[in-house]
Structure 1
Amino acid sequence: MSSTVSAPPRAAGQAAAQPTGTPAPHPQSPGGRCVRGGGALSRRSARVPIWYLRVIALLNLATAVSLTFRQEVSHHNTGELFTPFMLFAGFGSAAAAAFMAMVLARHKRMAWVAFMVLCGGYAALSVWALCYRDLRQHPFNWISTAVTLAVLAFAALGRREFFGKGDRTNPQLALAVLGVGALLSVVVGTTLVTAVGPDGASVGDRVWYVALRLATLSRDDDIAPNLHVNPLVNAGINLAGLILLLAVLYALFRSPRGQEAQSRDDEDRLRTLLDRHGRRDSLGYFALRRDKSVVFSPSGKAAVAYRVVGGVALAAGDPIGDVEAWPGAIDAWLVTARDHAWIPAVMGASEEGGTVYARHGLDALELGDEAIVETDEFSLEGRAMRGVRQAYNRVRRAGYTTRIRRHRDIPAGEMAALVEAADRWRDGQTERGFSMALGRLGDPADGACVMIECHDADGALRALLSFVPWGADGLSLDLMRRDRDGDNGLMEFMVLDLIERSREVGVERLSLNFAMFRSVFEDGARLGAGPVLRMWRSALMFFSRWWQLESLYRANAKYRPIWEPRFLLFAKSAHLPRIGLASARAEGFIVAPRPLARLRRGA
C-alpha cells in the first residue's frame, strides 16, 4: 500500500553511490542552504499578515451568511465608527481577503507591495480620522487603528520573506482584464436591468447603477433610492463583480508562466550527461522534452529538468548526471522555484533519487512501481507464462511479423508514414504523457531510439512501439499505438518479439509501463487482506473504469518483471491537491477548453 515517508530507505548495494556531505535542510522550508529570506523574527512576522487575512476572510464570510453579524459590521463601518483593515461585510470582501492571504502565503513580492500600499493607506486614513473629536471618542476606533498598524508593522518586519517574482506582464494583463471585464459586465448588467427592471429610469441611471453596484456591492437605496431592480438581477451583478475582482487579482499576482524551454545548448549539455550517466535512471532521456526548462548544478555535472504547470515546478525522475553533483542541481532548482513562488514537486523519482531529494527537505509518497524486464533472464517457459505464450503463438500463427530498427536507420519517407499512423491511432486529440513520454516522434535528434513495427499477413502496418535509450544497453518505453481493427495481443506480441531479438539491438534491460498503486492491487487481492486495504483496492478498481489503473498493472505483471518503486516528492502536504492537478494537466488527463488553452499554456 502507498505510504508517506520522510526519506525513502537506501537501496541495497547503493551505499557507495549516495552523495556525501549534503547539508542539512533548513528547518522551515525545502532546499537547505538555498533558502532565501530573513531570520526567525522575519519568518514569524511574515506569518502575521497571512493569518490576519485568513481570519478576516472567515469573519467576512460569516457576515455574508449571518444577517445579525452583517448588520453589526455594517453599523461599525458607518457614521462615527470604522473597522480594522479588510473587515467588511459580504462575499466579495471574504474572497478578496482569502485571495490576498493565499498569494502572500506563496511569498509573492507583488502581493506584499499591494498589501503594504492598501494596508498603509487604510492605516493613514485611520490615524487621520482619529484627529477628529467625534471619531476618537469611540474606543473601538482606537482598537481598529491599533490592529491595522500592528499588522502593517509585522508585514514590514517580514519583508524579506516575500521574494517571489511575478510575471512582468502582470500589471498590463490586470489592467486589460479590468477594462474588458468591467465593460462587458456593465453592458450585460445594463441589458438585464433594462429587460426586467423599471421603465422610468434613463439609460444613464441604469449604467451608473450597474457600475456602482459592481464596484461597491451596495444596497439599492444607497445607490439610487428611486431605482428598484429585480433581486435576481442584483445577485447576478454582484456575482459578476466578484468574478471580475478575482480575475483581476489572479492576473496581477500570477506566477511567471515558465515558458522558457530548454535551449539548443541546454539540450546538448543534457545529451552529454546522458551519454555519461544515462544508465542510472530509465526516465533520464525524457528530460529532453522540449517543453521542459532545465537548471544545472554549479559544476555543470548534473541538472534538473522541469516544467511549470499551474504554479508548480514539476520535475520528473531523478536528476541527470553525476550523482555526486545532484545536491547542487537540486539546490539550484529549489532556488529557482522559490524565487518565482513556484511549488516544487517531483514525479516518478527512484528510491535513490527520492533519498537525495528528501535530504533537501522534501517528503516522499510512493506512487507505484515501474516494470523492468531483464532480457537475458526472461523466458516464456513454465506454467506461469502459459497464457502469455499461447497469446504470442496465436498472433504469430495469424501471420503477424515485426520489424525492429533504430530511428536513424528508418528512411525519412517511411518515418513520415509511421508518424502519420501514430497520430491517426492516437486516442483523443491530446498527446498524453510528461514524466514517461518524449512527446515527439521522428525527430532527427532521436536517432538512437528504437522502433518496433507490427505488420499483418498482408503487410499492412497494424501497430508500433517506440523506445528511448536507457544508457548504452537499455530501452525505456515511450509510445505505443495500434490500429483498432488489428487483432488483440499485438502489443504483447511486439514486446515479446523485442525481448527474443534483444541481442540484435544490444539491449539487456527494458523499462515498460508504470503501474500506479501496484502494491494495492496485488496485496489487496491476497487472502487475509485487511478491510482498509480491500476498500482502497475497490476504490481504485472503480476509478480504473476511466483511468485504466488496474489494466496497466495486469498488462505489466504478465511479463513477471522486476518492480522498481517510484515516488512523488513534495514540500508540504497542503500542496498535494495543486500538485495532483498540475500532474494531471501535464500528463494530458485534464485539458483546458480550447478558448482557454492558449491563455493557460505554460502557466
Structure 2
Amino acid sequence: MLRILTNVVDVTASTTPPTTAVKPRPTVVTPRCRRAAATACVWYLRVMALLNVLAVLSAPLRDRVREHNEGEHFTPYLLTAGLVSAILALCLAVTMRRRKRAAWILNTVLAALTLSVMILWLLVPGEEPGFRHHWINWASAALTALFLLALLVARTEFTSKGDRSNPRTALGTLAGGVLLGGALGVALVQATGTGAGAGLSDRLGYVLSRFVTLDPSERAARLVQVPGWVDGTLNVTAALVFLSVLYVAFRSPRGVVLTEDDEARLRTLLDRHGERDSLGYFALRRDKAAVFSPSGKAAVTYRVVNGVSLASGDPVGDPEAWPGAIDAWLAEARAHAWVPAVMGASEEAGVIYGRHGLSALELGDEAVVEVADFTLEGRAMRGVRQAHNRVRRAGYSVRVRRHGDIPEPEMARLVADADRWRDGATERGFSMALGRLGSPDDGRCVMVECHDAHGELRALLSFVPWGDKGLSLDLMRRDRDSDNGLVEFMVIELLRQADDVGLARVSLNFAMFRSVFERGDRLGAGPVLRLWRTALGFLSRWWQIESLYRANAKYRPVWEPRFVLFRKSGELPRIALAAGRAEGFVTTPGLPALLRRQSRAA
C-alpha cells in the first residue's frame, strides 16, 4: 500500500505544471529529534544500570524490586535488581552510544517483548483486578513504551556495523557459558544446599534464577536453601558469561589487511610522492588496511586495534587529494563505530586532519640528519668523534648495501641474527616500523652491517627508502656482547658512504616528549615542566624515553615534530591502549584473544 501511494504521489508531482510551486511537506521527525531520541535511549540504559547496581548493593532496594517483580507489580524494562541486568544495561548503553545497529535491534526486540507481556497482564481480565489498577504497573509500562518509542524514532541513527561472525560466536559463547555455569551451579547447590523435596529440575531452576537476580523467590527458598556466598557466586558467574557474550556480540569489525592490489597502488603513490613523509614507506605494513580517495591519488592506511582505527604517519599520495582520503577513512570509522586516531602525523597533515574535526597533541620529535650539513668537527661533536675512533681502532668495519644486492642465503643469515638479537619474543613497532625483514619486495631498503676484527657480524641497521634520496630507520639490532658505540659508528659510516647509495638525508629514531627533556633542563623552567621532566625520567627506567632523545641529540639533527590526532579527549586512554598494543608494548592475552582465534578459524 505504501509503495502504491508513493507511486501516485510521484505521478501527481510529474504532472504538475512547471509554473506551480509545490511546497514541500515538513518531515514528521527531524534529525534533531532523532538525535535527541537516541540520546534518551542511552540515558535510560545508564539509569537502569545504576539502579540495578544500587539494588545489588542495597538489601532494602533489592527486596523492594524483587517484591514488585514476583508479587503484584512489575518494574520497567531491564530493572531486575541483578548484576547481570546491570552489566547488560551498561554494555547496551555503551554500544548504543556508539550507534551500533546490533544493539538497537536487541533493545527493540527485548523492549517490545517486555511491553507485550506488560500489556497482556494489564488488559486481560484476571482474578486480581487491583493488579490492573496499580499505578506502578502502569508507570512501568509507560516507561517501557516511551523507551521503545524513542528506539523507533531514532532508528536511522544506529548505522554502525558489527562483525559478521559476531552472532555465531556470541551464540556459541552463550551456550558454552550456560552449560558450564549451570553445571557448576548445580554442583554447588547439591554440595551446600538443604531443603526438602528439591529435585534436579528444582536445583537447575534455582541456578538459572540466580543467574538473573540475586535473591530467590519464596517458593525457591522453601525448596532450596544455600549459603549467601553461593547465590553471589552464581550471579557473578552469570555476569561474567553475559559480559563475554556481549563482548563478542557487539565488538567492532577487526578490519581487513593490505591486499596485493592495494599494495601495488600504494607503491605507485610512494614512487610519485614518497619524498614528502619519512614514514610513508611504513604504510606498506601488511597488517594494515588502506582506504583511498575517490580520485585514487591519496590513501590513508590504518589498523583496527580494540575498536580504534589507528592510522600512522601522513596520508600517502598527493596532498591535494588528502581531504578525500581522510573523509573516506572517517566515513568507514563511523560505519563500524571505530574510534579514529592518527599516530605520528606531521604538522602539515595535522592541519588538514584538524579541518576534519580531529585535535592534535604533540607526541615528540623525529630526528632528521641532513648529509650535507653533518660533520664530526667541532667541540660539540667531540664525544661522538671519540666514540667513532675508539670503535674503528678496535677493528670494526661497516658494509652498506641495498637489500636487493644481498644474496638470498646471506639475507637469511642476517634475518636469523636479527631475530636472535631481538629483545623479547614480540616484534615491536607499528607507526615507524615495517614489521618484516628480507622480503624480496623491499629491494630498495638499505642494510648497514657491522663486523668485528674477526669478520663476525655484531650489529645491523635496516633503513626503508624515503623518496629517492632519503632513508628512514626501520630496524636496529646488535649483539649484547659487542662493544658499546657500535650504533653511533654505523650511523656515521652510513653518512660517510652516502654517495654510494645516493643519500641526502636520514631519519633516525623518534624521541618521545623531546621538548620536555630539552626545556626542562633549562634555566628558568617552571615547576610543572620540571615535575613532568622528573616523571619522564623516572619512567625512562623501564622505557627508553630519555635515552632515545640523548642518542639522537648527539648527531645534532633537525627536529621534526610529530603529533597524535584524536576526536575527543575522553578517547585518549583507549587510543593509548590501542597504540601500546599495536607497537608491541602492551599484550592482552586471555579470553578476547581466544575468541579472536576461534572466529578466524570459523
Q: Match for 2:92 among 100, 104, 109?
A: 100
Partner of 1:301: 297
Distance in 1 (alpha carbons) for counterparts of 2:492 and 2:93: 55
Among 398, 408, 425, the alignment partner of 1:429 is 425
1:248 aligns with 2:245: yes
1:87 to 79, 97, 105: 79
**Greater mean deviation of Cα atoms: 530-539 or 71-80:** 71-80
Distance 2:62 2:310 in 1: 43
Aligned to 2:486: 490
Could you list the per-position Cα deviations for residues 418-450 of structure 1 after superposition, in whole angstroms to 9, with x for gaps in the alignment? Answer: 000001111111111110000000000000000
- Deviation, 1:77, is 2.8
The 5 A counterparts of 1:176-255 are 176-198=172-194, 205-219=202-216, 221-255=218-252
Map residues 502-513 of structure 1 onto 2, 5 A cutoff: 502-513=498-509
Instruction: Name the CA distance, whole Å, in 2 between partners of 1:206 and 1:69.
Output: 26
How many residues of Structure 1 are paired with residues of Structure 2 in the alignment?
566
Q: Give the equivalent residue in structure 2 for 1:7.
A: none
TM-score norm. by structure 1 comes to 0.90
1:61 to 53, 58, 61: 53
2:540 — aligned with what?
A: 544
2:37 to 36, 45, 49: 45
Partner of 2:116: 124
Which residue of structure 1 aligns with residue 10 of structure 2? none
* Residue 545 of structure 1, CA deviation: 1.6
1:317 aligns with 2:313: yes
In 1, the alpha carbon distance for the partners of 2:506 and 2:67 equals: 72
Query: What residue in structure 2 maps to residue 13 of structure 1?
Result: none
Describe the superposition over 1:30-71 as per-residue Cα deviations: whole angstroms up to 9, x where unpaired. xxxxxxx98222222211101111122122222222223323
SS of corresponding position for 1:477: strand
Report the RMSD for the aligned CA atoms in angstroms: 2.1
Aligned partner of residue 547 in structure 1, secondary structure: coil
Question: 1:515 corresponds to which residue?
Answer: 511
How many angstroms does 1:197 deviate by? 4.6
Q: Does the 8 Å contact 2:202/2:223 carry over to 1?
A: no
Higher relative contact order (CA 8 A, sep 6+): 1
Q: CA deviation at 1:236?
A: 1.9
Q: Give the whole-Å Cα distance in 2 for the aligned partners of 1:109 and 1:595.
A: 24
Q: Is the 8 A contact 1:212 1:223 kept in 2?
A: no
Greater CA deviation, 71-80 or 573-582?
Answer: 71-80
Shift of 1:196: 4.5
> Is the 1:38–1:160 contact (alpha carbons within 8 Å) kept by the matching residues of 2?
no
CA offsets per residue over residues 385-407 of structure 1, 9 Å max, x none? 11111111111111111110000
Residue from 453, 460, 467 that aligns with 2:456: 460
How big is the shift at 1:74?
2.9
Query: Residue deviations 1:369-393, cap 9 Å, x none?
Result: 1111111101111121111111111
| Cα distance, 1:234 vs structure 2 | 2.7
1:514–1:99 Cα change, 3 Å = same
CA contact (8 A) 2:84 2:212 kept: no
CA separation of 1:546 and 1:220: change in aligned 2, threshold 3 A: farther
Amino acid at match of 2:77: F
**Residues in 1 aligned to 2:504 and 2:230: alpha-carbon distance in whole angstroms:** 70
> Which amino acid in the other structure matches residue 584 of structure 2?
G
What TM-score do you get using the length of structure 2 for normalisation? 0.90
Residues 375-384 or 468-477, more deviating: 375-384
Equivalent residue for 1:404? 400
Would the alpha carbon gap of residues 81 and 575 (structure 1) be closer, same or farther in structure 2, given more than 3 Å must change?
same
Cα distance in 1 between the residues matched to 2:62 and 2:217: 17
Structure 1 equivalent of residue 16 of structure 2: none
The residue number in structure 2 matching 1:528 is: 524
Q: 2:354: which partner in 1? A: 358
* SS of 1:567 mapped into structure 2: strand
Check whether the contact 2:195–2:225 (CA below 8 A) recurs between aligned residues. Answer: no
Report if aligned partners of 1:220, 1:229 keep a CA contact under 8 Å in 2: no
Change (3 A) 1:197 1:540: farther
Do 2:56 and 2:214's aligned partners in 1 also have CA atoms closer than 8 Å? no
Residue 5 of structure 1: aligned partner: none
Flag the 1:205–1:57 CA change in 2: closer, same or farther, 3 A. Answer: closer
Residue 593 of structure 1: aligned partner: 589
Closer/same/farther in 2, CA of residues 462 and 226 from structure 1, 3 Å limit: same
What amino acid is aligned across from residue 245 of structure 1 in structure 2? F
Give % identity: 61
Does the CA-based 8 Å contact 1:306-1:316 persist in structure 2? yes
1: CA distance, partners of 2:359 / 2:533: 24
Deviation at 1:216, TM superposition (A): 4.3
Structure with the greater alpha carbon radius of gyration: 2
For the 8 Å contact 2:365–2:513, the answer to whether it is kept is yes
Q: Quick one: structure 1 residues 488 and 194, their matched pair in 2 at CA, closer, same or farther if it must change by over 3 Å?
A: farther
Structure 1 CA distance for aligned equivalents of residues 595 and 44 of structure 2: 33
Unpaired segments of 5 or more residues in structure 1? 1-36
Residue type matched to 1:482 in 2? Answer: R
Look up the match of 2:441.
445
Letter of the aligned partner of 1:452 in structure 2? V
Q: Measure, in 2, the Cα distance between the counterparts of 1:186 and 1:454.
A: 63
For structure 2, list consecutive stretches of 5 or more residues without a partner in the other structure. Answer: 1-28
